[in-house]
Structure 1
Amino acid sequence: MSHCEPNSSIAGRFAPVSLLGRGAMGEVWLARERVSGPQVALKLVSPEDSMGPVGARHRREYLNLSCLRHPSILQVYDYGVDHRDGARWFSSEVLRGPVSGELAGNLSLHRWLEMCQGILSPLAFLHRNGWVHGDIKSDNVRFRDVPRDESPLDPVLLDFGLSHLQGYPQEHKILGTPHSMPPEQWLGEPPDSRGDVYSAGILFYQLWCGRLPFTGNERSRLGRAHLQEDPPALDQLRAGLPAEVIEWLQKMLEKRPDDRPQDAGEVRNLLDKVCCRLGVKLRAESCSSLASQVRYGGPSRVQTDALFEALMETVEGGQDGGIVVHLHRRGGDRRRIARSVRTHLMARGIPVIAIDPDSATAGEDVARKVVSGTEVAIAVVEQPGLGSAELRSALECSQIGSCTIIWWVNCSSVPSGYLGEVIAKRPTRKIQTDALEAMDLGD
């Protein structure tokens, strides 16, 4: 039974529009923010499942997606726990296109190669940064928009409930989709990048032929097939795939992990060479995708932990509210630190409300965004300068109804002027994270 109906409210914050899908991990709804108005996709876990393994996987998926920023990976926004019944949710961008399987068997050679390239790009990003997806399949690749003949394909990788850092699998039991799970995983080995390569090979096979290499629903039968049987020959199911491309795909489907390409980046390089020899020109990788491939060390764990702990201590400090001033001179790093901390606060079930420092209705904005029944919320302001008169007034507010408001101010230097005077009158913690850089000796 559905956790919500189209005329009800989700977590007191969203108005459901329509049900997009339902599965073992819960439901996905198209919904609209009641305050700000934009449509989002909401992934919901029922109250009954929220406290068990499904709820833990759901929370982990949000945390993983929050730190994996690539144009072809689903973009997530907020996370929360419904105070009324404990149901968990997170919001994300709305993907308007179909799942990749709806195009299976109907792609031309060029469009199929473009599709393979589009899936390998985010997967190579994951592997380069030490991550494993763990469940590559047609339902977990969806198009951002409805594909049109004249426009480039724009596949998006989603469903990161089984993703993890390589070498640190989250669960010890065998998890995955039987139709695409690699042979070694059937034997109890933890998934790694080579397993993702195999599963991607199964997906590419399906997208060309219009069917999976191993069919049926009997789990033991599928396990034997992945371990012992060769897939039906591609050219017998659908002609038109050059021999070099078939050989490339067969390498991905080798039974032994060591016989496959070791990660999606290697698969992508091999595909580029095949296309070059065949004279096939695919579109160049986008600037945003190339930029995301550059590994950036970013803010240190010491910095994010220090800010997180300061905010949590203020939250747990009582009913008087308070202000946390986060100081960091470099704007890019300051925003990265704040984004990471915001993610982990929401994963703890603490609402974080963004307030425009120049808003003429800052106080009203906070009041509108606090969901009825919430005990504590954090209102965050980025680089407020001297602050508007309305913001200065709002900062004096520590309580809205029964909800305690904690103010979190991110700026490059200690606020001065009228804003500084307001902060000086309130219980305030100052944390200067760029002063902690020299202290960071690694994890």
Structure 2
Amino acid sequence: MSYFTEQICEFCKNYGEKELPLKMEDIAADLFADSMGCMKAGLYENSARSITKYLSAKKRTDVEEPERLLEKLDAEEKALFYGFVSHNFDFDNSSNIIGHNSAVLFPAMLALSDETAVSGRDFIRAYLLGTEVSFKAASFMIPGMNFRGFHITPVFGVIGAAAACAWLLKLGETEFVNAVSIAVSQCSGLMAQFGSMMKFCHCGLAASAAVRSVYMASAGVTGKPDVLEGKSGFFQAYYQPTAAKSMNLGEPWSMLRESFLIKAYPCCSASHSAIYGMQSFLRETGIDPRAVKSVKVLVPKYTTNNLIYSRPRNETEAKFSMNFAVANVMKNCDYDFGAFARDNIESPELLGYMEKVEMSVTDKFPDFVEAEPCVLKIETYGKTYEKEIPFGLGRTLDSPLSREQLLKKFTMCTQGRFASPEETFDKMHKAASVPRIRFNIFKGEIQ
């Protein structure tokens, strides 16, 4: 049996002619449109100024306005920028198995498409290919790797993105294997960075590394073909060795078994079931939040690895706080971009509600549950309510969002910056049909 990197290459040989399940292509269209809306929102987030300032200094120019700056960047630099702004609202779609995969793959492929002719059909198929590689690599490592503190998004994303980009560039077998091998040596990212800009940067760094890997391989840089499963290879070094001899790519397709979450709320998905549950409780009971004495949120162990701030000090930390998530619902009911306005975060009313929220682990759930459920125990002055919330809103596989729901989120993300959000959304959603990907997020153009 061949090495895993060689199996990925072999799988790609006739991939362009494979007939893919239509459901996968439909999911990919949803994920791309959603990702582009989140990227547009991220362009105007305060943290985006830091990455543009860095790239401006790197290029030794005084241009920091993103649209003009992008004209001066190479593919690696564009991938870094696209990945950063795709994820800096933490509103982009995700999976508990491979994290924010789209915020690595799409930026890498978009950056590559500026320098290489890529059809819309090949672009979407490359995304599905890279996603399958990410999923299958992760299948040997999850959930143990999560509990060791690795941020799975860039760790697996760079492998999948390198495979996708290598396929788009039509690399030969040797170069293809080397590209994936080079990418594996750039797997990195720590959960300790959650609540800082480095979490967003993880996506950009992984996307940039994927582009760099294929260009280095094209130039003749080599890597070991057994870098994944070999002695002292990826699996052993990052978590545990595997006795498996095959990646079983496409057998079955992981995307037809694993859900992506297209988020309804711009924060860490680990808090979404509690947000949804608290919103439902207040709407169904009509109880005034001021009458709530305490809220206990019982969660799987892994949730506490993600939500690490009980008293967040800024908007970035607030996205990783269960206390903030529940308190914001009690104060505002809705949970949108306004939640992270400074006057909301520093509001005495919100701070008072946070004091009433407590998160703790329960043995009711396994340590790692993909849907990230919770149990809400809400005590009012007179009665106690308890309800299990199996998951939040927005799952694409077991509960897909309608076009109307997707468009509503896209419109919220773009905030009037496109003349016709609906027309732009439809363009993004139909990216597979364009003859060549020519990407301009500022104008909302995909060709």
Tell whether the structures are fold-level matches, with TM greater than 0.5. Answer: no
Q: More strand by proportion, 1 or 2? A: 1
- Given the two structures, how large is their TM-score scaled by the length of structure 2? 0.28
Q: More helix by proportion, 1 or 2? A: 2
Report the structure number with the largest CA radius of gyration: 1
